[in-house]
Amino acid sequence: MLDLMKRQSVDLLIDQFWKNGYLTISRKFGTYLPEPQRMGGFDVDIIARYKKDYAIGITINEEDIDNPLLKRKIEFLATRQTKSSNKDVLLFIGVPNDLKKKIEFIISTLDENVRKNIKIQFFNHELNSNTKSKKKKTFLN
């Protein structure tokens, strides 16, 4: 069940990458694309590119928000730069709406230079029990 929610969160974040013009290079739970490699010992859900700009995507759930290493993970990933041109890499963070205040607090404690490389995407997960397979309806805000 948690794995299904994580998969849907990654799919929603992929949609946001596409809306911003990014092309997905690697992603978790993908059929045709490879899974992204760990960066600095941290798991990454998506790596994407728009022209010569790169972006990293992670999704955060209730289990992750209570992890004491989350702030360090966000700070590390938001300070990444490309190897060749040393351009900053944008960090997209997908977060359920019910964790909005917690993630905003964590982000507000980071340095201004780190915060400018972070883009937060909020979304809802709702269960639809009318079907036998209990498909989930997901909505972006």
47 DSSP β-pair partners: 26, 56
* pLDDT of 35 above 70: yes
pLDDT at 140: 58
Percentage of the chain lying above the pLDDT 70 cut: 87
CA distances from 2 to 22, 32, 37, 62, 63 (A): 27, 22, 22, 10, 10
Mean pLDDT of the chain: 82
Distance between CA 24 and CA 47 in Å, rounded?
Answer: 6
pLDDT at 128: 37
Within the chain, how many helices (H) and strands (E) appear? 5, 6
Q: How many residues does the chain have?
A: 141
Residues 61 and 65: their CA atoms lie apart, in Å, by: 6
Average pLDDT over residues 70-89: 87
Structure-block tokens of residue 98: 């019910």
Q: According to CATH, what is the number of the domain 2-140?
A: 3.40.1350
pTM over 0.85: no
Q: For the chain, give every domain's residue range.
A: 2-140
